[in-house]
Amino acid sequence: MCVMETELNINGQNQRLDLAPGVTLLEALRDYAGLTGTKYGCGEGQCGACTVLIDGRAARSCVIRAADATGRKIVTIEGLASGHGLHAVQQAFLDHAAFQCGFCTPGMILGAVALLDQDPSPTASGIREGLQAHICRCGAYPRIVDAVRAAASKNKGSRRG
Ligand code: FES
Ligand code: FES
């Protein structure tokens, strides 16, 4: 099978992967880079489970060819925490038990990070609207909204400090 060396910047590291043509970014992350935190839900850009950040914006990795992500900064759930601990959104999801099975959680968290980047103080309805394209089959939406609000107010507090 023909493969193509493709360099991707994932979680701050350049990685060279030998990928078959047409491999999606989701497949590259999970099957070639071993980063299985990014989930395969629908494979059609409809559920949000595969969301990663590309250059700081939420993107559905199942509908993006890996080759099209070269030269861009990709962040997966594995790369979100810094050396100082969990990202504020990750911590808020834990504090608010904002999941049941956890399948939607990595994509939901990265979607929330991108949302807070665009709007640091969203209302509850703004959060629901911002994350409406993320499906949680367990129906944990109320706790997810609580968690994102908590992360927003923590960020606000830390900016004041
Ligand atoms: S797996 Fe990509 S949006 Fe559903
Ligand atoms: S926690 Fe199960 S799909 Fe969201």
Contact 108, 134 (CB under 8 A): yes
Higher pLDDT, 161 or 140: 140
Q: How far are the Cα atoms of 44, 63, 157 from residue 47, in angstroms, in the given order?
A: 8, 12, 32
Q: For the segment 81-135, what is each residue's pLDDT rounded down to a tens digit? A: 988 799 999 999 999 999 999 999 999 999 999 999 999 999 999 999 999 999 9
Which strands sit side by side in the sheet containing 51-54, from one edge to the other?
13-19, 4-10, 73-75, 51-54, 57-60
Predicted structure pTM score: 0.95
Q: What is the distance in A from the centroid of ligand 1 to the CA of 32?
A: 18
d(CA 21, CA 38): 21
Question: Which residue segment(s) compose the domain that 96 sits in?
Answer: 88-154
Confidence of residue 160 (pLDDT cuts 50, 70, 90): very low
- What is the position in ligand 1's atom list of the atom closest to the CA of 135? 4
With the most atoms of ligand 2 within 8 angstroms of its CB, the residue from 93, 96, 137 to mutate is 137
Q: For the segment 34-76, what is each residue's pLDDT rounded down to a tens digit? A: 999 999 999 999 999 999 999 999 999 999 999 999 999 999 9
From 22, 45, 78, give the residue that closes a domain.
78
- Asked if residue 71 and residue 100 are part of one domain, the reply reads no
Q: Which residues form ligand 2's pocket by a CB distance below 6 Å?
A: 99-105, 136-138, 140
Residue 83 within a domain: no
From 43, 78, 113, give the residue that closes a domain.
78
Q: What is the per-residue pLDDT for 83? A: 80
* CATH number where 132 lies: 1.10.150.120
Residue for token pair 């959060």? 127
Contact 90, 81 (CB under 8 A): yes
